[in-house]
Amino acid sequence: MSGSLKTIKALIIHLDRADERQIQVELLERLLPCPAIVLKAVDSLDLDDKTIFHFFRKKLYRPFYPFTLSKNEIACFLSHRRAWQKIVDDGMDAGFIIEDDVALEERFEEVFRFAVQEANEESFIRFPFRVRETGKIIAEKGDIKLIRPTEIGLGQVAQLVGRNAARKLLDATATFDRPVDTTEQLYWKTGVHPEVVLPPVVREISAELGGSTIKSKHSFFARLYRELARPLYRHRIKVLSKRQEG
């Protein structure tokens, strides 16, 4: 079933103390083609040990995530859970979740309306800022395509999330062991298989707004370990993803 969404609101995730992003938030409020709500992000500075222990567990799912999450990554995950909860609590058919360091490209509204037409309450449609995923074409109109990728890409800048998908993600992430976008790759665990709309019509501009609020600094040896462990982990995800399709 497609084209069944009636109540859609945009949820702009914004960290209160990120004053340099306020102008961009106001711009998004004006430009987004649906009513917008500024959603207060979870601040890593406010995270206490009790909250972290409640949500974060190491080695929940295979392949095991090789890194310990930083407070910033946990706060980011909890911010997206807050957005999913808002979709459910407010009875939206879907929410368009967008981070406050995202700019809209010229064809955004055209591609957004195509995605809405093809979506339903079970949908999770990613709006990537670069083309890295391939998969089965679900729908197309001219050069605009909705695809169902075998291996889900990374990045969490903008997504159209149906109410039922939001509910499933909340249930599946009552505890988590890896970042939010990496968790969404495990669609056989979450019950939500992300789709992707192309061409890219959003752009990540954190560098223009004072830098990322998520990235953490690491020692030389920690960086070296990450460089070695990351491709191995990604290879395991690729193998598991292909196995699900087989």
pLDDT given at position 219: 77
Report the pLDDT value the prediction gives residue 218, as an integer from 0 to 100: 66
The answer, yes or no, to whether residue 5 has pLDDT greater than 90, is no
pLDDT at 196: 98
| 199-246: pLDDT as tens digits | 999 999 988 887 665 566 767 767 877 889 999 999 999 999 989 876
Instruction: Sketch out the chain's domains with CATH numbers.
Output: 8-245 (3.90.550)
pLDDT tens track for 26-84? 999 999 999 999 999 999 999 999 999 999 999 999 999 999 999 999 999 999 999 99
CB 115: neighbour CB atoms within 10 A? Answer: 24
What is d(CA 166, CA 169) in angstroms, rounded to the nearest whole number?
5
At 106-144, the pLDDT tens digits run 999 999 999 999 999 999 999 999 999 999 999 999 999
Of 151, 150, 129, residue with least CA distance to 198 = 129
Q: Where are the alpha helices (DSSP H) in 45-159?
A: 49-55, 71-89, 108-118
User: pLDDT of 148-159, one tens digit each?
Assistant: 999 999 999 999
pLDDT in tens, 85-101: 999 999 999 999 999 99
Does the pLDDT value for residue 3 go beyond 80? no
pTM of the full predicted structure? 0.92
Q: How far is CA 136 from CA 128, 162, 245, in A?
A: 17, 21, 11
- Predicted pLDDT at 1: 36
Q: In the structure encoding, which two tokens stand for residue 201, read together? A: 């019509």
